[in-house]
A and B are shown apart, each in its own frame.
Chain A
Amino acid sequence: NAPSEDEMAKWKEPLIERMISRQNTNLMQIVYGKPGLKPSSSIEEVHGSSEDEESDGDEFFKPKGEINKNLKEGTEVYHVNIEDSSKFINHIKLKNWKDEELIESIRDRFVTGDWSKASRRGQ
């Protein structure tokens, strides 16, 4: 009883339209930067801050700390040589899951919890 290709497409049309028209908020900006900037700006910025200024001999003898400071001003630079690992590690922020209250707070995410609450999440 799967809908045919055409039906599927029709059903999705408004979704596509809405998607394109909507200027989205905050999160979009965090990920993609401010709308005015061109797409590859993050990369260009890196270039600008570390090489173009003071391109003569000064750069060569800059104390290491200063370079780092300079780098941090560019928004993206921190990530330039970041380690490439998809694994998400946050052992520092681990909560104490033996705590009764904390356990109760995620009870409804399990089949042993309240099913009506969980079904509302999926919508």
Chain B
Amino acid sequence: MGKISFMRLKGSQHLRQRLVLATLSSTPILIDDIRHEETWPGLRPYEVSLLRLIEKLTDDCIVEINETGTKLKYKPGVIIGGKHLVHDCGLSRSIGYFLEPLLLIAIFGKKPLTIRLAGITNDSKDPSVDTFRKVTMPLLKRFGVPPEGLYLKIESRGCPPLGGGEIVLGVPIVPNSLTAVTWIDEGMVQRIRGTTFSTRVHPECEKTMTYTARGIFNRLLPDVHVFGDHRSGPQAGKSPGYGISLFAQTTSGCFISTDTAVSYARVEETDDYDDERKELTPPDEVGEQAASTLLGEIEQGGVVDSTHQGMLFLLCALCPPDVSKVRVGKLSQYGIETLRHIRDFLGVKFVIKPDSATETVLLTCVGCGLKNLSRKLS
């Protein structure tokens, strides 16, 4: 084997995007200084778990981590996919953290993927599995990912700190490449849908969240439905919690989403995670907050919400060499970092133009022309 030249990176930030982009562009990466100045240095359990997950999906990839975990060497392999894979996502981050990179890698695999993921389905830090099912998946379809075989089934729910949730995810492969989009019409919000869930708490919590959320929407729109998903017994996981996922569907088929969940804090969390609340936020406030966040997202415009900006840009950049044009509201920090990483890995630079009339941002790019090569390898 010849000498491998690694792309050198620093710090723990945006590890998921780096791994995704490294895998898709077959760029070996070497990351230094991962939390080297912190009391608890090195990779976190969830990051290691993500690396293990990528190892399961790919063939011949090399992952090397030094003793302290502050240095990571990753040489991507061939994306394989496959049926009936199983992965335990652990309890330090929710399944939502893993889904995003998993989807992007899996669509460029050799075989369609079905995987069972265990861990936390809903928490306040990552997009929930509900949001994923209702909003992220339609986003993929827009870019030409075949709808057959794209599904997410929530077998059981799990909240922090003990989890116990389980989902089954199916991801089809892209036959050749994605399709570029011109997607600048946000349309008008025509309906609002949502799901509430509760595990190991009284189902009344859900009704309260729905009631207060509706209270805010009803002055704008009558078409609001929030479905309840109360779980009990083994399907409710191991910890008490409740939460709400909301999304607005527009006349042009855009989805704007938000979600939140409350539960007791994780035990192993360090000081710098400041959401160690002793008391849970009452359900009426949760409903109101979620509804307000959604209206905030709708107000700022764009064809996706702030949470999905990163995903949107990545998909645009992975398109064939064709022009994609999209509109977003205010650029999120995560979105900006994504744009930078896209430039570093794929050499795709977006033209970013503010649209002063609507206070939105228009982004145009020519895709890097990624083809599904794994499929052709026998």
Chain A interface residues toward B at CB < 8 A: 9, 12, 15-16, 19, 22, 24-28, 30-32, 39-40, 42-43, 46-47, 50, 67, 79-91, 93-98, 103, 105-113, 115, 118, 120-122
For window 320-378 of chain B, which residues contact chain A by CB distance below 8 Å? 322-323, 325, 331-334, 336-337, 339-340, 343-344, 349-354, 357-358, 361, 364, 366
**Known contacts A43-B9, A88-B306, A97-B291; is A109 also within 8 Å of B299 by CB?**
yes
Instruction: Indicate if the CB atoms of A16 and B12 lie closer than 8 Å.
Output: no
Instruction: Indicate if the CB atoms of B292 and A97 lie closer than 8 Å.
Output: yes
Instruction: Indicate if the CB atoms of B126 and A87 lie closer than 8 Å.
Output: yes
Instruction: Indicate if the CB atoms of A103 and B306 lie closer than 8 Å.
Output: no
Contacts of A91 in B (CB 8 A): 289, 293
Instruction: Indicate if the CB atoms of A32 and B127 lie closer than 8 Å.
Output: no
Instruction: Indicate if the CB atoms of A31 and B323 lie closer than 8 Å.
Output: no
Q: 1/0 contact trace for B176-197 toward A, CB 8 Å?
A: 0000000011111110000000
Contacts of B307 in A (CB 8 A): 86-88
B35 at the interface (CB under 8 A from A): yes
Contacts of A47 in B (CB 8 A): 10
Q: Can you list 15 pairs linking A and B with CB atoms under 8 Å apart?
A: A25-B354, A27-B361, A32-B339, A32-B343, A42-B340, A80-B10, A81-B38, A86-B308, A88-B305, A97-B292, A109-B301, A110-B190, A111-B188, A118-B188, A122-B252
**How distant is the Cα of A10 from the Cα of B374 in the complex, in angstroms?**
31
Instruction: Indicate if the CB atoms of A81 and B13 lie closer than 8 Å.
Output: yes
Instruction: Indicate if the CB atoms of A12 and B336 lie closer than 8 Å.
Output: no
**How distant is the Cα of A24 from the Cα of B339 in the complex, in angstroms?**
15
Contacts of B295 in A (CB 8 A): 95, 97, 106
Instruction: Indicate if the CB atoms of B188 and A109 lie closer than 8 Å.
Output: yes
B87 at the interface (CB under 8 A from A): no
Chain B interface residues toward A at CB < 8 A: 8-17, 33-35, 37-38, 96-97, 100, 124-127, 184-190, 216, 219-222, 251-252, 289, 291-293, 295-296, 298-299, 301, 305-308, 310-311, 322-323, 325, 331-334, 336-337, 339-340, 343-344, 349-354, 357-358, 361, 364, 366
Name the residue of chain A whose CB is nearest to the CB of B216: A97
Instruction: Indicate if the CB atoms of B221 and A112 lie closer than 8 Å.
Output: yes
Instruction: Indicate if the CB atoms of A86 and B310 lie closer than 8 Å.
Output: yes
**Known contacts A31-B339, A97-B295, A110-B189; is A43 also within 8 Å of B8 by CB?**
yes
Chain A nearest CB, measured from B17 CB (Å): 8
**Known contacts A32-B339, A94-B293, A121-B358; is A106 also within 8 Å of B299 by CB?**
yes
Contacts of B292 in A (CB 8 A): 94-97
Complex A-B, nearest 10 residue pairs according to Cβ-Cβ distance, in ascending order: A80-B11, A88-B306, A122-B185, A27-B352, A82-B13, A110-B189, A111-B190, A97-B292, A118-B188, A111-B188
Instruction: Indicate if the CB atoms of B14 and A27 lie closer than 8 Å.
Output: no
**How distant is the Cα of A43 from the Cα of B358 in the complex, in angstroms?**
34
**How distant is the Cα of A16 from the Cα of B293 in the complex, in angstroms?**
36
**Residue among A15, A27, A94 with most chain B CB within 10 A:** A27
Name the residue of chain B whose CB is nearest to the CB of A94: B292
**Known contacts A91-B289, A121-B358; is A31 also within 8 Å of B340 by CB?**
yes
Chain B nearest CB, measured from A61 CB (Å): 14
